[in-house]
C-alpha cells in the first residue's frame, strides 16, 4: 500500500472520533440477549428484520476485526522488520479480496432463525478468538486466510444467500406464424448460473 499523507482536517476528525469512541456505546452481551429475546417475540416481518439487524451486528464485528488485522499489519510491519516492498506486495495481494468478502458479507448474509444466529455467532467468535494478534507477521498470514475462511464457513452453513440469476429470452417471430396463443409461466422456469 502506497503511503498517503492525511490532511490536517482528516487527522482532526480522526482524533475527534477517537475521543467519541471512548464513550460507552458497545452493547453488553446481556443487552444483546435482551434485544434478541425481544426480536424472537415479534411477529413477521418484524422478526425477520430484527434477526437481520442482530446478524448485521455480528458481521460488523467480524468485518472490523479483519480490518483491525489489516491495520495491525500496516502499523507494525516496519518495526518487525517487514520491508516496505513486502508490505506493499501483501496489500496488493490481499486488499481486493478482503474488501470483496466484506462487501459480500454485508449484502448476502441471511439468518432466518435463532439457530442460524447461534451458528453465525459461533463461527464468528471462534475465528475471532483464533485470529487475535498484535504481531504484523501473524497479521500478514491472517490477511491471506481469514476472510475467505470465514466466508467459506458461512457458505457451508447456508448463511450466505445470493439472489438467483435471472434472464429473459426474447423470441422474434412474425405474428402471422403463431397459430396458438403462447403462454409461458416464467416463475416455473429454472435457470442457474455458475457465476459467483
Calculate mean pLDDT across residues 103-125: 94
At 132, list the grid cell: 487475535
CB 108 within 8 A of CB 161: yes
Helix (H, G, I), strand (E, B) or coil at 160: strand
Tell me what pLDDT residue 185 has: 45
Q: How confident is the model at residue 97 (pLDDT cuts 50, 70, 90)?
A: very high
At 42, list the grid cell: 415479534
Residue 50 has pLDDT above 90, yes or no: yes
Tell me what pLDDT residue 22 has: 73
CB 73 within 8 A of CB 1: no
Contacts of 102 (CB under 8 A, 6+ apart): 63, 66, 67, 147
Closest CA to 58 of 129, 133, 142, 117: 117
Q: What is the pTM of this model?
A: 0.75
Closest CA to 101 of 15, 196, 24: 196
Residue 160 has pLDDT above 60, yes or no: yes
Closest CA to 74 of 126, 17, 151, 135: 135
Calculate mean pLDDT across residues 113-120: 94
Residue 16 has pLDDT above 90, yes or no: no
Contacts of 32 (CB under 8 A, 6+ apart): 54, 57
Tell me what pLDDT residue 45 has: 92
pLDDT in tens, 51-96: 999 999 999 999 999 999 999 999 999 899 999 999 999 999 999 9
Tell me what pLDDT residue 25 has: 67
Q: What is the DSSP letter of 7?
A: P
Amino acid at each position: 500500500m502506497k503511503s498517503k499523507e492525511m490532511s490536517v482536517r482528516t487527522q482532526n476528525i480522526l482524533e475527534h472520533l477517537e475521543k467519541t469512541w471512548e464513550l460507552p456505546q458497545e452493547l453488553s452481551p446481556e443487552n444483546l440477549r435482551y434485544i434478541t429475546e425481544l426480536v424472537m417475540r415479534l411477529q413477521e416481518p418484524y422478526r425477520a428484520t430484527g434477526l437481520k439487524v442482530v446478524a448485521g451486528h455480528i458481521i460488523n464485528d467480524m468485518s472490523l476485526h479483519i480490518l483491525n488485522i489489516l491495520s495491525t499489519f500496516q502499523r507494525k510491519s516496519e518495526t518487525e522488520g517487514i520491508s516496505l516492498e513486502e508490505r506493499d506486495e501483501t496489500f496488493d495481494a490481499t486488499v481486493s479480496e478482503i474488501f470483496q468478502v466484506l462487501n459480500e458479507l454485508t449484502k448476502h448474509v441471511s439468518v432466518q432463525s435463532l439457530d442460524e444466529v447461534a451458528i453465525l455467532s459461533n463461527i464468528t467468535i471462534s475465528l475471532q478468538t483464533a485470529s487475535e494478534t498484535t504481531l504484523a507477521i501473524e497479521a500478514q498470514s491472517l490477511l491471506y486466510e481469514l476472510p475467505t475462511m470465514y466466508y467459506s464457513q458461512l457458505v457451508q452453513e447456508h448463511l450466505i444467500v445470493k439472489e438467483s440469476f435471472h434472464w429473459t429470452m426474447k423470441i422474434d417471430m412474425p405474428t402471422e406464424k403463431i397459430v396458438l396463443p403462447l403462454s409461458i409461466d416464467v416463475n416455473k422456469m429454472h435457470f442457474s448460473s455458475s457465476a459467483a
